[in-house]
Amino acid sequence: MTSSFKTEWKSNHPIYERISPETKNFLFKHDEILRWLDDSFKLFKQFENDRNFQDYSFVITPAFKALEKWLLMIAPYLGVPDDLVKRAENTGKLGIFLNDDDLENFIDNVLNRLGKSEEKRKSIRTYLQSLNQTLKNFRHNPAHCGNIIENPLMAETMLHSILSNINEITSMLIEEKIITN
C-alpha cells in the first residue's frame, strides 16, 4: 500500500539543511531514504514533549529503515556483488557483507581498481570499517527489548547521528569518486 502523502522537499527542509549538496543529490534518487528520515523527524516533533512512554524507539524506527536501505544502496559501490546485496536485502541480514573480513576485501578491490594510493586506501578503509558498527549501534541494539531509548531527546540524538553518518560517508564516497553522482 502506498501513501498518497508526499513531502515537499524544499531547500529549507530540516534534512536538507543538515546534509551536503552531493549527498542530497544522491539520496534524492532514492527518496524512500529521505521519506523515512523525514518520518522520524516528524515523530520526534510530535512526541518531543511527551514523557508518557517507557521507550521511544518508535521515534527512530523509520530512520533504522533508512540506514539499512542506505547500506544496501552503497554496497555495490563498495564492490559487494549484486547477488550478495540481494540476499542481504531478502534475508534482512546485512552482516552478510558488513563483516570485517568481507568488507575489507570488497573495499580493497574497489580502491585498487580506482588506483588509490596505499595511504588513501588505509584512510578510506578505516572510515568504511565503521559501517558494521554503525548498523549495530543504530539499528541492531535499539531494536531489542534490552536497549531502551528513555526519552525523546535521546531518540533525537540517535536520529541526528544516523543522518550525520549517512551524510559524512556518502560525501566521502562521492569525493573519492567511489560513488559517481
Question: Which residue is associated with the grid cell 534490552?
Answer: 146
First and final C-alpha spacing in the chain = 30
For the entire predicted model, the pTM comes to: 0.84
What is d(CA 11, CA 63) in angstroms, rounded to the nearest whole number? 21
Q: Where are the domains of the chain?
A: 20-175
Q: How far is CA 180 from the centre of its chain?
A: 18
User: pLDDT value at position 144?
Assistant: 63
Rounded average pLDDT per 10-residue block, the chain, 181 residues: 51 80 88 91 90 89 90 90 91 79 80 82 79 71 73 90 92 90 66
User: pLDDT value at position 143?
Assistant: 65
